[in-house]
Amino acid sequence: MGVARVGNVIMEKKEVIDSARRLGVKFVTLQFVDIFGATKSCEVTVDRLEEVIDSGLYFDGSSIEGFTRIHESDMILFPELSTFAPIISTGNRVARFFCDVKTPDGKPFEGDPRFILKKMIERARDLGFEYLVGPELEFFLFSAESVEKLAPRPQDEAGYFDLGPRDLASDVRREIVTNLEPMGLKVEMTHHEVAPGQHEIDFKYSDALTTAENVLSYKNAVKTTAQAHGLFASFMPKPIFGINGSGMHVNQSLRDIKTGENAFHGPNDKYRLSDIAYHFIGGQLEHARSMCGILNPTVNSYKRLVPGYEAPVYMCWGRMNRSALIRIPECRRGFGENVRAELRNPDPACNPYLAFAVMLAAGLDGIKRKVKPPEPVEEDVFDFDDAKLSSLRIRTLPASLEEACTEMESSKLVRETLGEHSFNKILEAHRKALLEYTTRITPWELETYLNSI
């Protein structure tokens, strides 16, 4: 029958329905994502909620990117009760559930990104681990009219941690936090980021499935709240030339299911890392290039991944080295509980279900094969010349989506993690985007060549 957790109270189906009515919920939106992580939804009245919980809701899967063909289009949404939450920006008139996508015979749909992550989580649990992640998503606030003209203008000219009146979005961020907390996100900090008009709201880490859905809730709340203030919020990785792009750094750890302790903690190691942590890091570094097609899934993603703008390019790791691909943040309080590995190349364009699935798969592969990472690098890698990079055997991430596709296509690990259906659909979509991009005439070309040739 399923249960829902609201606050610290575990609720069964009847209680969920009663809670929805008590809150004044009139409509229930059933949410899921396509292969790119774009949230899709349909809505029913609260009077149909019990029926939908018991029997699901049919929809046409052939119209969803990366799902099924027209002759096998029937799919069913089953709401996950544990994801029940009112949407405060609607005055609690609307509540949402995230859903599992199933076929008419009741089996999980192999192309459902939520199912793909759940399979990988179960694999980790079979090995005795729970995967915990805490992503940091950056975004830009633009004036709405500038976006309509395709010439995005940042809302302000403030910089990192600036205070008002330079930071013009303090009230917007506060309202976003107010909208997020009833949906279960525990916000830890908000601040202006480095680039003009760029912001970050950090929420507490959790298990990978909960966090993937927190990412979706966060992006939706940011966009909805910005629109209410006459602004446009964008999670595009690199919307403006010459300033920092937006990343989604992901802090990761494994919890030992039997002991409840952080499996990454090695109290006698100089970095406080266990062998499990070292092997996990080794696995992610080994598979870093092949994961980029999922972690950095757009043509635009690779305009962020260039030296000079704080984005990681070089495949190395270190403690406080922000130029490294994987960083081990120093935690002065409760180090054993909080030791973690921060993967810095993912961006907010990724599908969080698929991103966390391939990241976990790479780490677990490192643990299984006891992959030893290279020596840590504590210098600024951006200052290294080619000779030093070569001497330290430091490789770079793919420089384009085309290169990322080549790496991904040859990866057995990514193929097995996604399954043949999603793996092929994603590669097909990437190549379609590449073809369209490479044949478009850009403003740069017109500016550079139109009058000079």
Averaged pLDDT, groups of 10, the chain, 453 residues long: 44 86 94 93 94 91 64 80 89 92 92 97 98 97 88 81 74 92 91 90 96 97 94 96 94 97 92 95 98 98 86 87 85 67 97 98 98 88 78 89 98 97 95 95 93 92
DSSP one-letter string for 138-186: EEEEEEHHHHHTT---BS----TTPPTTT-TTHHHHHHHHHHHGGGT--
Residue 125 annotated in active site: no
Residue 43 annotated in active site: no
Residue 281: name the closest of 376, 350, 193 by CA: 376
Alpha-carbon span 264 to 253, nearest angstrom: 6
Alpha-carbon span 181 to 163, nearest angstrom: 23
Given 114, 173, 199, 249, the catalytic residue: 249
Q: Which tokens hold the place of 108?
A: 């999980």
Q: What's the CATH number of domain 119-410, 3.30.590.10, 2.40.110.10, 3.40.50.720, 2.130.10.30?
A: 3.30.590.10
Residue 120: name the closest of 302, 301, 358 by CA: 358
- Residue 4 forms beta bridges with which residues? 11
Given 191, 322, 395, 415, the catalytic residue: 322
What one-character DSSP code corresponds to residue 83?
A: G
Alpha-carbon span 453 to 432, nearest angstrom: 30
Alpha-carbon span 372 to 305, nearest angstrom: 26
pTM higher than 0.85 for the full model? Answer: yes
Given 327, 344, 407, 430, the catalytic residue: 344
Given 60, 275, 375, 445, the catalytic residue: 60
Residue 80 annotated in active site: no
Q: Which tokens hold the place of 18?
A: 């009663």
Given 156, 162, 193, 213, the catalytic residue: 193
Given 200, 202, 347, 365, the catalytic residue: 200
Residue 199 annotated in active site: no
How far, CA to CA in Å, does 276 sit from each of 49, 52, 127, 237, 289? 44, 43, 12, 32, 22
- Counting Cα atoms < 13 Å in the Cβ hemisphere of 31 gives 22
Given 34, 112, 136, 202, the catalytic residue: 136
Residue 50 annotated in active site: no
pLDDT at 346: 98
Alpha-carbon span 75 to 60, nearest angstrom: 6
Residue 447 annotated in active site: no
Query: Rounded to a whole number, what is the distance in angstroms from the first to the last CA of the chain?
Result: 70
pLDDT at 6: 45
Given 112, 175, 202, 342, the catalytic residue: 342
Residue 193 annotated in active site: yes
pLDDT at 159: 73
Measured torsion, CA atoms of residues 168, 169, 172, 177, in degrees rounded to the nearest 10 = -140
Alpha-carbon span 327 to 380, nearest angstrom: 12
- Residue 203 forms beta bridges with which residues? 187
Residue 380 annotated in active site: no
Q: Which tokens hold the place of 160?
A: 């990192």
Domain boundaries, given as residue ranges, for the chain: 3-108, 119-410
How far, CA to CA in Å, does 379 sit from each of 179, 249, 278, 319, 342? 41, 20, 20, 10, 17
Q: The domain at 3-108 falls in which architecture?
A: Roll (3.10)
Residue 157 annotated in active site: no
pLDDT at 331: 60
Contact 16, 10 (CB under 8 A): no
Per the listing, tokens 């029913």 go with 44
Given 112, 138, 347, 407, the catalytic residue: 138
List CB contacts of 374: < 8 A, sequence separation 6 or more: 285, 316, 317, 392, 393, 394
Work out the burial of residue 448: count CB atoms within 10 Å of its CB; fewer than 13 is exposed, 13-18 middle, 19 or more buried.
exposed
Residue 295: name the closest of 248, 328, 251, 342 by CA: 248
pLDDT at 92: 76
